[in-house]
Amino acid sequence: MLNGLWASWFKAKGPLSEVFLQRIAEAIAPPSPEQKELVGTDPIGHPKNMPPGVLMDKVAAAFGGQLSDEGRQRAQLRIHYTVGTTAGVIYSLALRRWPVVTRGAGGLYGLAVYAGGHGSLVWILGITPPPWRLPASAVMWEAASHAVYGAALEMGRRALGAVP
């Protein structure tokens, strides 16, 4: 459980963080100003416009409420770390039965988490456009940050001496 929490922190705040990867991706494939307004495309310039916050705004509105900026930020952090911790537990359980999930030093697992979340679920729920309608830079940095997350899971697991 702690490994998933650690990997979530590493993805968000570590040396290969989303912000770092966003800068690189935007240097390779610069998005237009309009594209940076899309949900989930610009954590640097529009941190309140990320999928977890938008999801919580929708939930609050469905119950007749509204989140403050501070409430949205707290909700985003809770969702980010809860999903990351849960995916870390799933990784630990899955590798006991299917050691292949550690391929790519955990990076492939991170990409699978991306595919299941940002690559499908968030647009199916109507939170973001589908990946093929997002700027290439957003897909690049988001996919890369999830690969980093998976690698951090595997790095943490090995550091704890949990290599099968």
Q: Give 66's contacts (C-beta < 8 A, 6+ positions apart).
A: 57, 60
pTM across the whole model: 0.90
By mean pLDDT, which of 42-46, 71-75, 94-98, 159-163 is the weakest?
Answer: 159-163
pLDDT attached to residue 53: 87
The backbone region for 32, taken as left when phi is positive above 0, alpha when psi lies in -120 to 50, beta otherwise, is: beta
User: CA 135, CA 28: separation in Å to the nearest integer?
Assistant: 11
- The answer on pLDDT for 116 being more than 70 is yes
- Residue 4 structure tokens: 């998933």
Mean pLDDT of the chain: 90
Q: How confident is the model at residue 143 (pLDDT cuts 50, 70, 90)?
A: very high
pLDDT attached to residue 57: 87
Q: Of 6, 18, 2, whose CA–CA distance to 118 is shortest?
A: 18
User: CA 101, CA 106: separation in Å to the nearest integer?
Assistant: 7
pLDDT attached to residue 72: 85
Q: How confident is the model at residue 32 (pLDDT cuts 50, 70, 90)?
A: very high
Q: Of 156, 144, 157, 150, whose CA–CA distance to 108 is shortest?
A: 150
The amino acid occupying position 100 is: V
- The answer on pLDDT for 162 being more than 70 is no
User: CA 40, CA 52: separation in Å to the nearest integer?
Assistant: 9
- The answer on pLDDT for 163 being more than 60 is no
Which of 10-14, 148-152, 156-160 is modeled with the greatest confidence? 148-152
- Residue 98 structure tokens: 């299917």
Average pLDDT of the segment spanning 50-61:
88
- Residue 85 structure tokens: 């911790």
